[in-house]
Amino acid sequence: MARDHGDGRAAALWYISPGKAELRAEPEARPGAADVVIRALHSALSRGTERLVFTGSVPETEFERMRCPFMAGAFPFPVKYGYAMVGEVAAGREDLRGRTVFALHPHQTEFALPADAVVIVPDRVPARRAVLAANMETALNAVWDAAPGPADRIAVVGGGVVGLLVAWLCGALPRAEVTVVDIDPARAEPASRLGVGFALPDGAPRDCDLVVHASGNGAGLTTALQLAGDEATILELSWYGRSEVTAPFGAAFHSRRLRLISSQVGRVAPSHRTRWTPPRRLAAALDLLADPRLDVLLAPALPLADLPGRLSQIFSPKSRALCQVIDYPASRQPS
């Protein structure tokens, strides 16, 4: 079984203090009868949530709610955190052995999980692209919350991974006019390749039927409010950690009867909650990743060994990387 630590044990990424992370040796996986052993192939960083973890910006009030499945340690530090892992089942349940699976697990070379905590990656989805599953699940849940319709004029403020995925999903609606709005002109290329429009804030369409805010910045929320038409919905997808955000809720916010709602992936959207479970939603998100155009969201992969020294660069506001992929020793085979 592939290992990535000098003493032969599995290795995992730990956030240990503000702006600092390291690889640590992990105890040997001891699977139970209902478990599988996963050999990591690829994982991905969440530039939004994991940046807040890396910088120690998770509010104390959110320490429990921010826990992700199978994390270790405790906020603020040290903590083993992450939720976008693709690997191969190396041992355990016979029907899963050798299958490529997705799991909500931190960045680690090898680990054991309950078999019901993994989802098989469809054959038509490459393993490297499958790291987008958690982001796609967030985007899918957001679209359920927002309930866009055919022919709607839709603006998505913030051209990060989740914003672009929301725009891509909305772009499949008949005659929908979808525009990604971002201050970085470089976001025009991925938007175009995903079949949706792009605009800088000053040139963005007004009088929108729906505005989704996913920039993670208070200025983006102001833009979202400005782009919404009368009685339109603004869906807030950003999570700001400890940062306080001001927005123009005076002026014409009330007279225009704007509707501001939040969306968060921790629970299935109310419109689907009675029929959908989180595993069904995650499986649907994986199936949606079959479109090869989504590869535009993947930054060139880094080996796990290089990751601790590159995190400051990856999480920098100046970084233009969208989804940072991490490769593991076992991923040297084609994927």
What is the pLDDT confidence band of residue 1, given thresholds at 50, 70 and 90?
very low
Task: Report whether pLDDT(333) > 80.
Answer: no
Listed in order, the ranges of the chain carrying CATH 3.40.50.720 are 148-262
Please name the CATH architecture into which domain 11-134+276-332 falls.
Alpha-Beta Complex (3.90)
List Cα–Cα distances, 324 to 285, 297, 319, in angstroms.
19, 9, 11
**pLDDT tens digit sequence for 44-91:** 998 888 999 999 999 999 999 889 999 999 999 999 999 999 999 999
Domain over 148-262 is classified CATH 3.30.70.1400: no
In the chain, ranges of CATH 3.90.180.10 domains: 11-134+276-332
- Both tokens of 177, joined, read 């006019």
Contact assessment for residue 193 and residue 173, using Cβ atoms and an 8 Å cutoff: no
The pLDDT of 169-188, averaged and rounded, is 98
Using CA atoms, how far apart are residues 50 and 19, in angstroms rounded to an integer?
11
pLDDT value of residue 167: 98
223 Rama sector, left if φ>0, alpha if ψ -120 to 50, beta otherwise: alpha
Torsion of CA 203, 206, 212, 216, to 10 degrees: 40
pTM over 0.85: yes
Residue 8: pLDDT band (50, 70, 90) is low
Alpha-carbon distances of 76 from 5, 48, 73, rounded to whole Å = 25, 16, 9
The pLDDT score that the predictor gives to residue 317 is 85
Residue 334 has a pLDDT of 42
| pLDDT tens-digit map of 246-277 | 888 887 899 999 999 999 999 999 999 999 99
